[in-house]
Structure 1
Amino acid sequence: MTWTLPEPMLATSVPDPVLLPGWAGEPKWDGWRALVSVEAEHIMMRSRRDTDLVASFPEIETGSRQLPDATALDGVM
């Protein structure tokens, strides 16, 4: 079965930073928004515009090899 990355979540401005119970948030930092996927020892790292970022961030590729199979991360680098 081939697994594909979900669409990235984009930052949304809110007037009040208080979160509802059970919700989580992160501050918007300047940087690269990316999705990282680990599947069958294959690392995929894509920007929100679907640009391959693996060659640009070899240290993240190396660190991602320690993650379990079928892991997906969405965040800012």
Structure 2
Amino acid sequence: MLAAPESDPALLPGWAGEPKWDGWRALVSVDAGRVVLHSRRGTSLAASFPEIESGSSRLPDATALDGVM
């Protein structure tokens, strides 16, 4: 789910938040030895981050990671 800006940053009791200061939201998946690194909109990020694509090749099949780079 994508974050949405709010005019009031107060959070409900029991909720926590973390600001995204800078970077790219990325999804990495490994399926049958094939690594896919892309943005949340589906744009390939492999050329921009070859070291992440290379390192991800060591992950087991059926792995999916979501994070900020």
**TM-score, normalised with respect to structure 1:** 0.68
Contact 1:34 1:46 in 2 (8 A): yes
Give 1:19 deviation, angstroms.
5.0
Of 26, 37, 40, the residue aligned with 1:48 is 40
2:59 is the counterpart of 1:67? yes
Partner of 1:6: none
The structure with the larger Rg is 2
Q: Which residue of 2 aligns with 1:34?
A: 26
Cα distance per residue 1:29-58 (max 9 Å; x no partner): 310101000001100011111101111100
Where does the alignment leave 5 or more consecutive residues of structure 1 unmatched?
Answer: 1-8
Q: Give the distance between the partners of 2:14 and 2:44, measured in 1 at CA.
A: 33
**1:63–1:30 CA distance, 2 compared to 1 (3 A):** same
Aligned residues: 66
Structure 2 residue runs without a partner (length 5+): none
**Cα RMSD (Å):** 2.4
SS in structure 1 at match of 2:47: helix
Structure 1 residue 27: deviation in Å? 4.3
Identity %: 67
